[in-house]
Amino acid sequence: MNPVSGSGLLVLAATPLGDSRDASPRLVEALASADVIAAEDTRRLRALAAALGVSPKGRVVSFYDSVETSRIPALVSAIAAGSTVVLVTDAGMPSVSDPGYRLVTACIADELPVTCLPGPSAVTTALAVSGLPCDRFCFEGFAPRKGGERQRWLRSLATESRTTVFFESPHRLSATLADAVSVLGADRPAAVCRELTKTYEEVKRGSLGELAEWAVDGVKGEITVVLGPAVPRAVDLPSLVERVRVRVDAGERLKTVVAEIAEAAGVSKKELYDAAIKG
C-alpha cells in the first residue's frame, strides 16, 4: 500500500521528537504530496516542513484535542472521496497519548484504508535508554493529575511485573515521584528521560528515592518516566490484616481497605478479606 498515492487513505505519520534529522524520507514525501495534512499544531508543522525543506501542496488543517471530534466527519469524507490525509502530531506517533485514535476508528468503521509511517516514539526511545528490562513493558499514558487518583494508580502498579512507561508534566514530576516513593517504596528502580533527542537531553537513572530528591527543585522539558518492574516479595498476611484492622477501626469501610491493601501487596482480595473477618 503506497501511503502517498492519493488513492484515498489515512496516513499516521510519526514526526521527530526534537531533532528534525530523525525524519524519514517517507515522511518528507508524504508531507510534500498529501492532499490534506491534519496537524496537532499547524505552526509546529510549518516549522518542521521548513526544516525539512518541504513545501506542502495540500490543505493544512488543525487537529488538536479540542477540535478533534468536530474535524473527523470532513476528514473521513475527504478520504472516502479519494484524498490522502496525513495526520501528524507535535512529536512522535499519532494516537499514542496524542490525537488520532478517534479518526482511525472512524475510518475503520467506514472501511477506509489506514496506514502508518513508522518513526520516532518517546515511549520506546525512553525504554531503550533507561537501562531497565525491555523484554516486557506497558505504557500508561499520562499519570493522573490529582493526588488521590495518582496514588490509586500507583497502587495498581505495585505488583506490575513489567517495566512501565508513562508521561508526566515537568510541573507535576516532583509530586508524582514523591507519591511513587510513598506507594511503591524508595528502592524501586526508575529513570526520568528529559528532552529526548534534543539539545539538553538528559536521562537520570536511579531509585525512586534518589529521583524524587533530584526533582525537588524542579525539572524542565518534555518528560518520560520509566518505572522498573516490581520485585516479588513474601507476603506477611498477619501484618496485612493488622493494617486492615487499624484503618477499619479508624472508620474506613472494610471492603475498600481490603481492596486497596490487597492490590498494593499483590495478594488475593478474597484471601485478605477472609483473614480479616476471622481475625
Region label for 195, one of left (φ > 0), alpha (ψ between -120 and 50) or beta (otherwise):
left
The three-point CA angle 122-126-130 to 5° equals: 175
pLDDT at 5: 42
Q: Which domains does the chain have, with CATH numbers?
A: 9-120 (3.40.1010.10), 123-227 (3.30.950.10), 237-278 (no CATH)
Helices (H), the chain: 25-33, 42-52, 68-80, 101-109, 122-130, 147-156, 173-184, 208-215, 237-249, 254-265, 269-278
Q: What is the pLDDT of residues 190-237, one digit of tens each?
A: 999 999 999 999 999 999 999 999 999 999 999 999 999 998 766 788
Contacts within 8 Å (CB) and 24+ apart, 202-210: 203/126, 203/129, 203/130, 205/130, 205/131, 208/177, 208/180, 208/181, 208/184, 209/181
Would the CA dihedral through 128, 131, 137, 139 be positive or negative? negative
pLDDT at 262: 86
Rg (C-alpha) for the chain, rounded Å, is: 23
pLDDT tens across the length of the chain (279 residues): 444 444 699 999 999 999 999 999 999 999 999 999 999 999 999 999 999 999 999 999 999 999 999 999 999 999 999 999 999 999 999 999 999 999 999 999 999 999 999 999 999 999 999 999 999 999 999 999 999 999 999 999 998 999 999 999 999 999 999 999 999 999 999 999 999 999 999 999 999 999 999 999 999 999 999 999 998 766 788 989 999 999 999 999 999 999 988 877 778 888 899 999 987
Pairwise CA distance, residues 30 & 217, whole Å: 43
The three-point CA angle 273-278-279 to 5° equals: 95
Distances from the Cα of 65 to the Cα of 44, 62, 70, 98, 224, angstroms: 15, 10, 10, 8, 20
CA 9, distance to chain mean position in Å, is: 26
- On whether the CB atoms of residues 93 and 141 are closer than 8 A, the answer is no
For the purposes of burial, counting CB atoms within 10 Å of the CB of 129, is it exposed (0-12), middle (13-18) or buried (19 or more)? Answer: middle
- Number of Cβ within 10 Å of residue 139's Cβ equals 15
pLDDT at 178: 98
- All three cell numbers of 159: 505488583
- On whether the CB atoms of residues 119 and 93 are closer than 8 A, the answer is yes
Pairwise CA distance, residues 196 & 201, whole Å: 5
Query: Which DSSP string corresponds to 135-204?
Result: SSEEEEEEPPSSHHHHHHHHHHTTT--SEEEEEE-TTTHHHHHHHHHHHH-TT-EEEEEESTTSTT-EEE
pLDDT at 44: 97
Under DSSP, the state recorded for 28 is H
- Number of Cβ within 10 Å of residue 236's Cβ equals 11
